[in-house]
């Protein structure tokens, strides 16, 4: 989830959404339309595919032993994600591992339903495990606004540099706390017929609280965690990168539905550095 102001912090009418098995969730009633707007799925590079909505990025990593789904968007993103997987020619039932870049309602809202239907295992950064289990009620910021999602019990807890292995693919989890206590990014190598690409799926660490860090008593280490993350992300090396929101990596300027396959449009180191610098400016103010 990126910065909430002005469309989240001042919540205009909360609505109660219901997902497949009648688990009630409470999402803000004024989410941006682009968060639910359908988007044509496409191949990013090698065995990595974009299957999310217009702005809430979800990624499918296809392997020889089943597939990995990273992020599921809002509760109502469920239908879009399922259709997009099938539109690309893959089987929804082949999802074996569910991951997220952060335990916020706009990135794992549909995860409980997908887990229930597919039987996939849910693996999460250990620092976000409690928030996932209680549906957001222990989140340091969004719980104050009454936001919640369907609770999900993790099957495996992960820490920094842990390897997520499935078939012929390996992802490395990078612990990047601040946005949530267990926000994380992923590094993986993907291959096509011409070469191997090192891909970063980045959780850009936007700052959502309007409070100064010293006032966030629910998260005493927030200042230090943001400092760690901004420094760690600045030194990452990769060939191409994407993020938790399409808008964070300018997807719609780089790719128009129907464009031919071209991984290099997602290289853009300059855009990545600028995204981090924008966060750093807010960090200094806090």
Question: Following DSSP, what letter does each residue of 235-273 receive, concatenated?
Answer: T---SEEEESBGGGGTHHHH--TTPPP-GGGG--HHHHH
3-state helix, strand, coil in the chain (%, to 5): 30, 25, 45
Residue 122: both structure tokens together: 């849910």
pLDDT classification of 268: cutoffs 50, 70, 90: very high
- CB 236 within 8 Å of CB 200: yes
24-28 vs 42-45, strand pairing mode: unpaired
SS3 227: helix
96-147 pLDDT per residue, tens: 999 999 999 999 999 999 999 999 999 999 999 999 999 999 999 999 999 9
| Domain residue ranges in the chain | 14-285
Identify the DSSP state of 155: S
pLDDT classification of 29: cutoffs 50, 70, 90: confident
175-186 pLDDT per residue, tens: 999 999 999 999
- CB 62 within 8 Å of CB 82: no
SS3 39: coil
Q: Distance (Å, rounded) from C-alpha 140 to C-alpha 156?
A: 23
Residue 56's beta-bridge partner residues? 245
Determine the topology of domain 14-285 in CATH.
Metallo-beta-lactamase; Chain A (3.60.15)
- CB 241 within 8 Å of CB 268: yes
193-227 pLDDT per residue, tens: 999 999 999 999 999 999 999 999 999 999 999 99
* Residue 144 region by backbone torsions, left for phi larger than 0, else alpha for psi between -120 and 50, else beta: alpha
Identify the DSSP state of 231: H
* Helices 111-118, 78-87: inter-axial angle, 10-degree rounding: 50
């Amino acid at each position: 989830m990126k910065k909430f102001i002005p469309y989240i912090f001042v919540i205009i009418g909360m609505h109660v959404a219901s997902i497949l098995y009648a688990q009630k969730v409470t999402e803000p009633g004024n989410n941006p339309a682009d968060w639910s707007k359908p988007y044509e799925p496409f191949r990013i590079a090698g065995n990595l595919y974009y299957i999310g909505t217009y702005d809430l990025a979800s990624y499918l990593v296809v392997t020889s032993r089943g597939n990995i789904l990273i992020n599921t968007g809002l509760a109502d993103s469920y239908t879009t994600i399922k259709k997009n997987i099938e539109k690309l020619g893959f089987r929804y039932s082949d999802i074996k591992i569910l991951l997220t870049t952060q335990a916020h309602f706009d990135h794992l809202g549909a995860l409980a339903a997908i887990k229930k239907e597919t039987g996939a295992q849910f693996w999460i950064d250990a620092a976000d495990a409690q928030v996932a289990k209680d549906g957001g009620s222990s989140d340091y910021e969004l719980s104050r606004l009454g936001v919640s999602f369907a609770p999900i019990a993790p099957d495996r807890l992960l820490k920094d540099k842990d390897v997520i292995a499935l078939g012929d693919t390996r992802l490395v989890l990078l612990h990047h706390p601040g946005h949530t206590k267990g926000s994380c990014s992923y590094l993986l190598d993907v291959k096509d017929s011409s070469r191997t690409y090192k891909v970063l799926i980045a959780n850009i660490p936007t700052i959502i609280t309007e409070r100064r860090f010293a006032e966030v008593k629910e998260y005493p280490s927030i200042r230090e965690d943001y400092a760690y993350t901004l420094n760690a992300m600045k030194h990452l090396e990769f060939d191409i990168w994407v993020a938790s929101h399409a808008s964070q990596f300018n997807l719609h300027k780089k790719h128009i539905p129907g464009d031919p396959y071209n991984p290099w449009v997602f290289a853009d180191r300059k855009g990545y550095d600028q995204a981090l610098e924008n966060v750093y400016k807010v960090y200094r103010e806090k």
